[in-house]
A and B are shown apart, each in its own frame.
Chain A
């Protein structure tokens, strides 16, 4: 029987689950909004993958049972679950996951829902150094979400809305003040697309400063939900003057890394 490992990344916005075999092939992946209960959502993702894959060896879901896959949890909800084989921080998991998705990665920039981080990796994907943003929403997915709401769109629609527009500069980094700024710009008659572009650029700028503070080592790999926005990637590349890489699965990078760490656990 082959060894399977599951990684679950319980983030502030979304909970991601990945099932991996020993050849690092992704057998399944699941994403659910975290909602108010990280514990319940984490468990729901766990059950969902097991049920889909008919891995319900015994009804207890006990990962200690040799029939069930190993489970490594990460993300801010990593401490609340009771079915995990191990809890590992999202920094280590992101490093590991990025190295699997894009082996040439030496710098990871992750824009998460409640924090953003820059990680330097060795050739083997080990964390050499990292930097996380301050206790503030500036430069995080949350910033983009709040700004999107004030434009009356979902955060996933921001990039499409901004397409083809020139940016109106958003000066405030503070989410609360930037929201007032957006409202003032709307009152002045600025097009929503211009403001959307401004929001994307402003987040990219903040990310670029964090990257430069750490020092950029190529290649740079972008993760987190915002990596799916082509305009964000373009803005970041222009700020840094280098190529920034991403993958469709980039939102699952933490869960993927967690699953890969599970495979390394002895026993």
Chain B
């Protein structure tokens, strides 16, 4: 019970790595990014292709550990590992890299990565609220814009920005519409398919083609809903997955959840819904509007990060959720510490079962995670 177009979505992985090569060879500029804070629209306004870079697989971690400490989050090690082993096609074709001062691990790793390729680091405020933080972030946006203008030797006009914002919003809206299909009970799409579709958008070289494919996928899925087709039943426990970003290679916990009989209906993480919640205001002055949108991202790097709790409570309600799973990477201090507050909020305010799972990209703890996940589902079902 899977939309036939999912096969085409999966094929984007191969398609995009060819397209990025062709585009680069035709002289198109490529801006490599790592984070949901990266303003792709400014790169698009410079007629460049913004892409998300690799960092979700275990393979290059050993190479990264030649320079980075072992006791560091796997996402940072994997990202650096891909760069240093030159095994990520998107990294290879990137002309410049864009990074932000999010967590300590990332910003210090970026210093080492900057030795491999030209890198611009945006200074992200540590507090998401307050006019002064927004003003500061707007100047950082302008600094990035100037960096691109200089690097690519072209002027970025307000018209360029407005067109890029429109396209960016269209992509965001279509991904949001796709995510919202799983509000239906039982959910028409598996969590794994949803994750794959959402994660792959970051690699889309041809944004228009990507938008069309997802529009078609939505149409096909809506037909499935009408016919009452779903991989699940109304009894299947519905899970909201929050926490760290995941992609192909780091989807272990999502996989275990669904193998154990759950339906992951909402992904409140950077590779899922987090970046889709809010559009860029098309009426406002473009640089200010871009700054506003990106600073509103409910990331655990922010202190405090209350908007994450607001988002969780909205998703839990809208998606008829039965339990919340908080996935955190080992040695990720911000998510691991915040998990205490998230757990308290979910249990006491939302009155829902909650579990934190701390792990890395390896398969060594699959058995232990399976016990926890199965017990969590038994707890939700309350049969015994």
Q: Quick check: is A76 within 8 A (CB to CB) of the other chain?
A: yes
Residue of A nearest to B369 (CB): A135
Query: B378 near A264 (CB under 8 angstroms)?
Result: no
Query: A91 near B358 (CB under 8 angstroms)?
Result: no
Query: B371 near A89 (CB under 8 angstroms)?
Result: yes
Residues from chain B with a CB closer than 8 A to the CB of A261 are 384
Contact of A92 among B367, B368, B375 (CB under 8 A): B375
Residues from chain B with a CB closer than 8 A to the CB of A96 are 384
Residues from chain B with a CB closer than 8 A to the CB of A135 are 364-365, 368
Query: B368 near A132 (CB under 8 angstroms)?
Result: yes
Q: Quick check: is B382 within 8 A (CB to CB) of the other chain?
A: yes
Contact of A91 among B353, B367, B378, B382 (CB under 8 A): B378
Residue of A nearest to B374 (CB): A89
Question: Which of the candidate stretches A51-59, A121-129, A149-157 sits at the interface with the other chain?
Answer: A121-129
Query: A88 near B384 (CB under 8 angstroms)?
Result: yes
Q: Quick check: is A130 within 8 A (CB to CB) of the other chain?
A: yes
Known: A92-B384, A132-B372, A134-B358. A76 touches B367 (CB 8 A): yes
Q: Quick check: is A90 within 8 A (CB to CB) of the other chain?
A: yes
Q: Which of B333-384 contact A (CB under 8 A)?
A: 347, 353-354, 358, 364-365, 367-368, 371-372, 374-375, 378-379, 382, 384
- Most central of B365, B374, B375 by chain A CB within 10 Å: B375
Query: A127 near B372 (CB under 8 angstroms)?
Result: no
| Closest Cβ–Cβ distance, residue A246 to chain B (whole Å) | 22
Q: Which of B21-47 contact A (CB under 8 A)?
A: none
Query: B375 near A127 (CB under 8 angstroms)?
Result: yes
Q: Quick check: is A179 within 8 A (CB to CB) of the other chain?
A: no
Query: B353 near A89 (CB under 8 angstroms)?
Result: no
| Bound form: Cα–Cα A92–B378 in Å | 7
| Bound form: Cα–Cα A195–B107 in Å | 45
Contact of A127 among B358, B365, B367, B378 (CB under 8 A): B378
Residue of A nearest to B364 (CB): A135
Residue of A nearest to B378 (CB): A92
Residue of B nearest to A264 (CB): B384
Residue of A nearest to B347 (CB): A129
Number of A-B contacts (CB under 8 A): 43
| Bound form: Cα–Cα A89–B353 in Å | 17
Residue of A nearest to B372 (CB): A132
| Bound form: Cα–Cα A129–B379 in Å | 8
Residues from chain B with a CB closer than 8 A to the CB of A134 are 358
Known: A76-B367, A129-B353, A135-B364. A89 touches B384 (CB 8 A): no
| Bound form: Cα–Cα A261–B382 in Å | 12
| Bound form: Cα–Cα A135–B382 in Å | 26
Chain A proximity mask over B38-70: 1 for CB below 8 Å, otherwise 0: 000000000000000000000000000000000
| Closest Cβ–Cβ distance, residue B94 to chain A (whole Å) | 36
| Closest Cβ–Cβ distance, residue A213 to chain B (whole Å) | 9
Q: Quick check: is A9 within 8 A (CB to CB) of the other chain?
A: no
Q: Which of A88-111 contact B (CB under 8 A)?
A: 88-92, 96
Query: A89 near B367 (CB under 8 angstroms)?
Result: no
Q: Which of B140-172 contact A (CB under 8 A)?
A: none
| Bound form: Cα–Cα A96–B378 in Å | 12
Residues from chain A with a CB closer than 8 A to the CB of B384 are 88, 92, 96, 126, 261, 264
Residue of B nearest to A95 (CB): B384
Residues from chain A with a CB closer than 8 A to the CB of B367 are 76
Contact of B379 among A90, A92, A115 (CB under 8 A): A92
Query: A127 near B364 (CB under 8 angstroms)?
Result: no
Chain A proximity mask over B320-339: 1 for CB below 8 Å, otherwise 0: 00000000000000000000
| Closest Cβ–Cβ distance, residue A3 to chain B (whole Å) | 17
| Closest Cβ–Cβ distance, residue A118 to chain B (whole Å) | 12
| Closest Cβ–Cβ distance, residue A95 to chain B (whole Å) | 8
| Bound form: Cα–Cα A96–B358 in Å | 27
| Closest Cβ–Cβ distance, residue A44 to chain B (whole Å) | 22
Known: A135-B364, A135-B365. A90 touches B371 (CB 8 A): yes
| Bound form: Cα–Cα A122–B368 in Å | 24
Query: A126 near B365 (CB under 8 angstroms)?
Result: no
Residues from chain A with a CB closer than 8 A to the CB of B365 are 135
| Bound form: Cα–Cα A261–B383 in Å | 9
Residue of B nearest to A96 (CB): B384
Q: Which of B196-255 contact A (CB under 8 A)?
A: none
| Bound form: Cα–Cα A158–B382 in Å | 39
Query: A76 near B371 (CB under 8 angstroms)?
Result: yes
| Bound form: Cα–Cα A128–B371 in Å | 16
B residues adjacent to A (C-beta < 8 A)? 347, 353-354, 358, 364-365, 367-368, 371-372, 374-375, 378-379, 382, 384
Can you list 22 A-B pairs with a CB-CB distance of less than 8 A? A76-B367, A89-B374, A89-B375, A89-B378, A90-B371, A91-B371, A91-B375, A91-B378, A92-B378, A96-B384, A115-B368, A126-B379, A126-B382, A127-B378, A127-B379, A128-B379, A129-B347, A129-B353, A132-B371, A135-B364, A135-B365, A261-B384
A residues adjacent to B (C-beta < 8 A)? 76, 88-92, 96, 115, 126-130, 132, 134-135, 261, 264
| Pairs of residues from A and B, 8 with the lowest C-beta to C-beta distance, nearest first | A91-B375, A89-B375, A92-B378, A127-B379, A89-B374, A135-B365, A261-B384, A92-B384
